[in-house]
Amino acid sequence: MPVVPAGLARVLTMSRTASKCDMRDVREALDAHGLASSVAHGPTKAFIGVDGVPGVPDTLSAPPVVHEVIRIDSPYPLVSAENGHRSSVRAGNAVLGPDTFTFIAGPCAIESPDQAWAAWDAATEAGATMLRGDIYKHRTSPYSFQGLGASGLELLAERRRCSPLPLVAEVLEPQHVAALADVVDVLRVGSRNMQNCALLRACAESGKPVMLKRGLTATIEEWLLAAEYVADAGSLDIILCERGIRTFDASTRNTLDLTAVPFVQQRSHLPVVVDPSHASGLRSLVAPLALAAVAAGADGVMVDVHPHPHNARCDGPQALLPTEVVQLGHALDGLARRMGRTSVRGVDTSADRAGA
């Protein structure tokens, strides 16, 4: 029998019919050979990651419940592109992946019901596939607006009840994960928390897809290793988000690294979206950067919307006006289709909220 080379990671793709008992039996067999393993679940299949140990016979392809054994020489084997074709992530009724284009829009921070609904209504008119809206904000200054906190949970729950469009919101601490996961479809880990391992694991264990923003000064490998923490904790429903990195140039809030989009797609099977709002910090740059992201191959774009950005309590200078997000939505839809993507424009069939 062939011998497993030292330090060579392997991923076992389980058959679609494999049960929890089958997976337990495989892991027990691996353990008997001294092989450490971890389980990650994708949208349709499960995977078992295995650490190679010298001198152990490679008999892993024998069980019928194992569809394929993939050898991967990568520091992030579960999210590596060597682990198969590029994947899609389902969030509510939306699918984000290589064949579609996903437009995410809404308020950066929810300040009031009127502000949030006005932004969401504009995003819906713009054809957004998903809505954003944060009640927890990680701010540089302790005196800045930190979000509505737990009092905003019911507002998110109401929007979710009234609309078919899935919601994505940021989570800051592990103790907030369970409550937020009850009212949103995607949990987002912000750039400042990219390497917060406890939070990454808690999000993975919630059963909800995780959107992982790139850290302010993170290399691409560090970003993918952070995603590996989520995968190692049991979930491959991961969306990577490029939101700009900090450089020497202070002309814009950050420097949008569009190189990262195709580069990451060559090294990982995970979908990648771009946030031009936080990358630039300037309203006038959001539309051109969003269009550039689509041209670079991004699987989605996420932007901030505010009905009165001059009065915003958080990131007003980068928020699009309702009319601007509608114009951008139409432009993104046309470009995405020309790029060969299925741009599924969202349709909000919600009842009037006053009567909901």
CATH for 15 = 3.30.70.1140
Helices (H), the chain: 20-32, 113-125, 153-162, 177-181, 197-205, 220-232, 260-267, 276-280, 283-295, 322-338
**258 belongs to a structural domain:** yes
Q: Are 335 and 294 in contact (CB under 8 A)?
A: yes
Contacts of residue 331, Cβ cutoff 8 Å, sequence gap at least 6: 287, 291
For residue 51, give both structure tokens: 């650490």
Q: How far is CA 330 from the centre of its chain?
A: 23
Helix (H, G, I), strand (E, B), or coil: what is residue 270? coil
Pair 247, 304 in one domain: yes
Comparing CA positions, the residue from 319, 296, 104, 310 lying closest to residue 213 is 104
**Cβ atoms of residues 101 and 114 within 8 Å:** no
Q: Are residues 139 and 108 in the same domain?
A: yes
**What is the CATH number for 332?**
3.20.20.70
Same domain, 15 and 111: no
Q: pLDDT value at position 150?
A: 94
Residues 154, 299 within the same domain: yes
Number of domains in the chain: 2
Tell me, yes or no, whether 212 and 285 share the same domain: yes
Domain finish residue from 41, 73, 105: 73
Same domain? For 19 and 132 the reply is no
* Residue at 79 is within a domain: no
Within a domain: 148? yes
Q: Within the chain, what is the greatest distance between any pair of CA atoms? A: 69
Q: Are residues 241 and 270 in the same domain?
A: yes
Q: Please report the pLDDT score of residue 165 as a whole number.
A: 95
Residues 224 and 162 in one domain: yes
CA quadruple 287, 137, 224, 279: dihedral sign: positive
Segments of the chain with pLDDT less than 70: 1-9, 43-44, 52-63, 343-356
Identify whether residues 42 and 110 lie together within a single domain: no
pLDDT at 228: 94
**pLDDT of res. 342:** 84
Same domain, 54 and 122: no
Q: Do 136 and 226 lie in a common domain?
A: yes
Angstrom distance (rounded) from CA 50 to CA 64: 18
For 58, the domain range is 9-73
User: Are 94 and 57 members of one domain?
Assistant: no
Nearest to 251 by CA among 220, 279, 292: 279
Predicted structure pTM score: 0.85
82 found inside a domain: no
- C-alpha closest to that of 109 among 154, 149, 159, 162: 149
**Residue 204 counted as domain residue:** yes
Q: With CA atoms as reference, report the closest residue to 159 among 114, 200, 204, 102.
A: 114
Question: 106-133 in b/e burial notation, b at 16+ Cβ within 10 A?
Answer: bbbbbbeeebbbbbbbbbbbbbbbbbbb
Of 18, 48, 73, the residue at which a domain comes to its end is: 73
The pLDDT, as a whole number, for residue 50 is 79
Residue 57 is predicted with a pLDDT of 45
